[in-house]
Amino acid sequence: MLAHVERAAAIARMDSTVTVIFSGGQTRAGATQLSEGQSYWLVARALGWLEGIEGRTTTEEHALDSLDNLMLSVCRYYEFTGKYPAYITVVGFEFKRLRFDKMHRAAMGYPADRFEYIGIDPDDSRAAERLSGEVGFTSPPYDAREALG
């Protein structure tokens, strides 16, 4: 997770038009009073990764799954900037690439040529195990475009 946070902050430092949204709600009852999004933001700040970009970072604190992460981040972007994103880059686990691109992005009707997924997996033996669970995710079983208007 730290690698994801660090990469997102690095992208924003290289491009002054980038806004970073650290997304995630409280997905584990009783674990902490902080949302995942808040935790990521606080870690990035404590490690100095937000230096010079803090004003272009925010949190989305309600997402409970990966579809929420994407959809609610678009909503939060609009709330934070007053416009919808012209381009979306998601930094996450490589094994979630198909889920985000082929399912969630497609379900939202967001153009593929304005979407990038940067996958970073931990260097451990469990990565292959997690990836095996994603094989069946090739097309969205839902269409969120109607809900988004």
Residue 139 lies in a domain: no
The CATH number of whichever domain residue 79 belongs to comes to 3.40.50.620
Closest CA to 137 of 110, 107, 102: 102
Average pLDDT, rounded, for the chain: 86
Residues 6+ apart with CB under 8 A from 88: 70, 73, 74, 105, 110, 114, 115, 116
pLDDT score for 27: 73
pLDDT in tens, 66-113: 999 999 999 999 999 999 999 999 999 998 999 999 999 999 999 999
Residue 44 lies in a domain: yes
Give the Å distances, CA to CA, from 138 to 73, 77, 116, 135, 147: 22, 27, 17, 7, 21
Query: How much is the average pLDDT of 8-33?
Result: 89
pTM for the structure as a whole: 0.81
Range of the domain at 77: 2-134
Residue 38 lies in a domain: yes
Question: 57-60 and 20-23: which strand pairing?
Answer: parallel
How many domains would you assign to the chain?
1
Query: How much is the average pLDDT of 17-39?
Result: 87
Other Cβ atoms closer than 10 A to 56 = 18
Residue 127 lies in a domain: yes
Residue 40 lies in a domain: yes
The token pair that represents 143 in the structure block: 């269409």
Residue 22 lies in a domain: yes
Q: Which single residue is written with the structure tokens 């040529």?
A: 113
pLDDT score for 86: 96
pLDDT score for 121: 84
pLDDT score for 140: 52
Residue 149 lies in a domain: no
In the chain, helix, strand, coil percent, each to 5?
50, 10, 40
pLDDT score for 31: 65
Q: Where residue 20 falls among pLDDT bands split at 50, 70, 90?
A: very high
pLDDT in tens, 121-148: 877 656 556 555 554 445 455 555 554 5
Residue 119 lies in a domain: yes
Question: 57-60 and 88-92: which strand pairing?
Answer: unpaired
